[in-house]
Amino acid sequence: HCAGPGLKRPRSLPALPLLGSLLQLAGHPQLHLHLWRLQGHYGSLYALWMGSHYVVVVNSYRHAKEVLLKKGKAFAGRPRTVTTDLLSRGGKDIAFASYGPLWKFQRKLVHAALSMFGEGSLALEKIICQEAASLCETLSTAQDMALDVAPELTRAVTNVVCSLCFNSSYRRGDPEFEAMLEYSQGIVDTVAKESLVDIFPWLQIFPNKDLALLKRCLKVRDQLLQQKFAEHKEAFCSDTVRDLMDALLQVRLSAENGSPPAPGLSLTDDHLLMTVGDIFGAGVETTTTVLKWAVLYLLHYPEVQRKIQEEMDQKIGLARHPHLSDRPLLPYLEATISEVLRIRPVSPLLIPHVSLADTSIGEYSIPKGARVIINLWSVHHDEKEWDKPEEFNPGRFLDEQGQHIHSPSPSYLPFGAGIRVCLGEVLAKMELFLFLAWVLQRFTLECPQGQPLPSLEGKFGVVLQVQKFRVKARLREAWRAAS
Ligand code: HEM
Ligand code: PLO
């Protein structure tokens, strides 16, 4: 393509015909770290070829904000890939659907439904607190044992989204929940990793272990979604909209009665299913991942944990449970959550964006159809913006008066920004605050005796995963004395 006047093309990694820049990428499973390191040689914005796809990698917040905010609409597309097409039935969801009237409509619907049932509502706070209480119950029965907290955290979070999406919940050991854990792990392990099948779609004609696993997991997920869908259709009554599934059915009903999302367009069953699937999947995997990272960092930084507990003892005491309205009282806990989201971004490369027209980023020309990867890891670890970026220091998110601030640097975008910004930010922050506050009011989390501190290294994928680890939850003396 032709660079416009005054514009230049991004510097490109070496590329071979057909293979593209594969030789520079192969053998680096931690793609976010590799793309971050390549800046040293190619500068903060560079290009590469994934097979026949032209990809631009953005590592600085200025360019990231130009893509997401200033030119949000020009970069609002999504690529089609083999794995995300399987996950979303060819982009019939929200996250992996390209820009268009149906995507817009689905986003608006979910946004409205989330504000109706969720965000800020007392009903939702009550559900989260109920799950927090049940989580604390489990921790106290497993006291002083080396417990794998991951399934417990996942169940707590799952039950919140489950009640939001399906007006249902899971008990401990529920076989449907165990099945969900297994299929979701399989999906996270295989989807949207810029893996070989996504770069070379023709590879799917050969036997491929990952692709087979993904298909197997999707079959289980689809059965589960389908069953919930059938139950909701059966019980649907337009007077009482109980959850997101009902809300979507309701909108479809009114579309059938003459108000379609856009002329000639309609929401099919697949669209409804994939939309709920997105919210359910995102609702579970993201928030759980952050909670796991938070617990892991608290094991590594006991002084941070102590400070959170001191703040809680002073501001809330031990005679009552934490509420959402306590958020302004607990700036150090809020700062800790912000720092976890910085140092281990859930979505280290966001979801790739695609340019919908010839355009530019900074002084670089970008052709229509380019895939743009925003490296959030680089944005959150930029040494020009963050003092000792690898150091875990919640204090960065406090001002001189000790109040929580959004960010000390503009180089902070844990939920993305612009028209593709995360739909679940408010919900996720409610959950993170309440779950951590409830647990830390009662327990001190420790590394089991005689075991080394678990690794802080993440595992790259569609979310930045935490490696398995065990925790000892010790009931706090103060709590024991108070009750
Ligand atoms: C998209 C972060 C929780 C639903 C995203 C994106 C990020 C993100 C970085 C991609 C933005 C982009 O591609 O430009 C997070 C973090 C979370 C979280 C850090 C937890 C702490 C949630 C929850 C939900 C959710 C709880 C569901 C209720 C979505 C959806 C999208 C999205 C549907 C796709 C939006 C679109 O493509 O239009 N999120 N998220 N997220 N998130 Fe979240
Ligand atoms: C997680 C595994 C689920 O089984 C399916 C699913 C649906 C939506 C995805 C989510 C997974 C991973 C995190 C994603 C989310 C949509 C938006 C979110 C990609 C694959 C983020 C962080 O961008």
Span 98-117, mean pLDDT? 91
User: With 80 as the cut, is the pLDDT of residue 118 above it?
Assistant: no
- The mean pLDDT value for 235-261 works out to 85
From 58, 160, 276, 286, mutation site for ligand 1 pocket: most ligand atoms within 8 A of C-beta: 286
Shortest-distance Cα residue to atom 4 of ligand 2: 184
Report long-range pairs for 216-224 (Cβ below 8 Å, ≥24 apart). Answer: 216/186, 217/182, 217/183, 217/184, 217/186, 217/187, 217/190, 218/86, 218/87, 218/183, 218/187, 220/179, 220/182, 220/183, 221/180, 221/183, 221/184, 221/187, 221/277, 222/273, 224/176, 224/179, 224/180, 224/183
Query: Exposed (0-12), middle (13-18) or buried (19+): which is 179, by Cβ within 10 Å?
Result: middle
| pLDDT value for 177 | 92
| Atom 1 in ligand 1: residue holding the nearest Cα | 422
Pick the residue whose CA is nearest to atom 22 on ligand 2: 347
Q: How far is the CA of 461 from the centre of ligand 1 (A)?
A: 15
Please tell me the distance between residue 351's alpha carbon and the centre of ligand 1 in angstroms.
9
The pLDDT of residue 398 = 98
Determine the pLDDT at residue 200.
Answer: 67
Please determine, for residue 63, whether its predicted confidence score (pLDDT) is greater than 80: yes
Task: Please compute the mean of the pLDDT values over residues 304-318 and round it to a whole number.
Answer: 97
Which residue's CA is the closest to the ligand 1 atom numbered 39? 422
Q: pLDDT tens across 313-347, in order?
A: 999 999 999 999 999 999 999 999 999 999 999 99
Nearest ligand to the CA atom of 84: 2
**What pTM did the predictor assign?**
0.96
Lowest mean pLDDT among 86-90, 266-270, 355-359: 266-270
Q: Which atom of ligand 1 is nearest to the CA of 96?
A: 37
pLDDT at residue 52, as a whole number: 85
C-alpha to C-alpha distance for 131 and 382, rounded to whole angstroms: 37
Is 1 a residue whose pLDDT tops 60?
A: no
The first and second tokens of residue 322, run together, are: 């934490």
CB 276 within 8 A of CB 244: yes
> Tokens standing for 355?
């340019």
Are 24 and 55 in contact by the 8 Å Cβ rule? The answer is no
148-182: pLDDT as tens digits: 999 999 999 999 999 999 999 999 889 999 999 99
Q: Would you say how long the chain is, in residues?
A: 483
Residue 86's pLDDT is what? 94
* CA separation for the pair 144, 425 (Å, rounded): 34
Q: What pLDDT, on the 0 to 100 scale, is given for residue 92?
A: 96
Distance 462 CA to ligand 2 centre (A): 7
SS3 of residue 138 by DSSP? helix
Protein residues whose CB sits closer than 6 Å to any atom of ligand 1: 68, 94-95, 107, 278-279, 282-283, 286-287, 290, 341, 346-347, 350-351, 414-416, 420, 422-424, 427-428
Digit-coded pLDDT (tens) for 380-401: 999 999 999 999 999 999 999 9
Cα separation of the two ends of the chain: 71
Q: How far apart are CA 94 and CA 273, in angstroms?
A: 11
What Å distances lie between residue 419 and 249, 262, 285, 422, 462, CA to CA?
25, 19, 22, 9, 20
pLDDT of residue 120: 60
Task: Supply 258's token pair.
Answer: 């003459």
The string of pLDDT tens digits covering residues 173-220 is: 899 999 999 999 999 999 987 776 676 677 666 668 888 999 999 999
Would you say the CB of residue 347 lies under 6 angstroms from ligand 2? yes
Rounded to the nearest angstrom, the distance between the alpha carbon of 207 and the centre of ligand 2 is: 25
Relative to the alpha carbon of 98, which ligand is closest?
1
Residue 67 contacts residue 366 (beta carbons within 8 Å): no
- Mean predicted lDDT score pLDDT of the chain: 92
CA of 281 to the centre of ligand 2 (A): 5
Nearest Cα residue to atom 5 of ligand 2: 281
Q: Considering only CA atoms, give the Rg of the chain.
A: 23
pLDDT at 405: 96
Dist CA 183 CA 163 (whole Å):
20
Supply the pLDDT for residue 4: 66
* Side chain identity, residue 16: L
Q: Report the SS3 class of residue 471.
A: strand
In the chain, the percentage of residues whose pLDDT exceeds 70 is 96
Q: What is the ipTM of this complex?
A: 0.99
Amino acid letter, 22: L
- Strands (E) located in 350-418: 353-354, 359-361, 364-366, 371-374
pLDDT at 389: 97
SS3 sequence of 432-462: HHHHHHHHHHHEEEECCCCCCCCCCCCECCC
Residue 123 has pLDDT above 80, yes or no: yes
191 lines ligand 2 (CB under 6 A): yes
Statement: residue 50 has pLDDT above 70: yes
Distances (CA, A) of 387 to 230, 341, 396: 53, 16, 9
Q: How far apart are the CA of 28 and the centre of ligand 1, in A?
A: 25
Rounded average pLDDT over 74-95:
95
| Ligand 1 pocket mutation pick from 111, 347, 422, 436 by most atoms within 8 angstroms of CB | 422
> Ligand 2 centre and the CA of 452: distance in Å?
31
Q: Give me the pLDDT at residue 196, please.
A: 64
* Residue 83, Cβ density class (10 Å: 0-12 exposed, 13-18 middle, ≥19 buried): buried
Q: What percent of the chain has pLDDT over 90?
A: 77
pLDDT at 172: 87
Phi, psi of 47 (to 5 degrees): -120, 160
Q: What does the pLDDT look like over 401-433, one tens digit per residue?
A: 999 999 999 999 999 999 999 999 999 999 999
pLDDT (average), residues 35-49? 95
